[in-house]
Amino acid sequence: MKRGEVWWARLDKRRPVVLVSREEAYAVRAMVIAAPVSTTIRGFAVEVKVGRSEGLPRAGVVNCDWLVTVPKADLIERAGRLAPAKVRLLDDALRFALGLED
């Protein structure tokens, strides 16, 4: 498991998530922080567009306003990974969502 990977997870239903925990956490923690993917696209600054190039069946957005803590056991299957440029967009969206902007 690595930050920026897309996984199918057991949440309210089977849903894709993007892992956002710091890299060091995956080896030692039983839970990880993830941002669920939604097909409701609003165009907000807290969203990062994703789709087939990230291993998903259709277009959606990573919603950085909706962070969840997921047991690693509930991560079912790896779907793909965000490209480095998308990880930078994810970082920007997380900073905005959490009020961590300079």
63-82 per-position pLDDT tens digit: 999 999 999 999 999 999 99
Q: Tens digit of pLDDT for each residue in 37-53?
A: 999 999 999 999 999 99
- Alpha-helical (H) ranges within the chain are 25-28, 84-98
Q: How many domains does the chain have?
A: 1
Q: Say what the pLDDT of residue 12 is.
A: 87
Q: Which residue has the tokens 């993007």?
A: 18
Domain coverage including residue 56: 5-98
Instruction: Please give the angle made by the CA atoms of 16, 75 and 25, to the nearest 5 degrees.
Output: 110
| H helices, E strands: number in the chain | 2, 7
CATH code for position 15: 2.30.30.110
How many angstroms separate the CA atoms of 91 and 75, rounded?
22
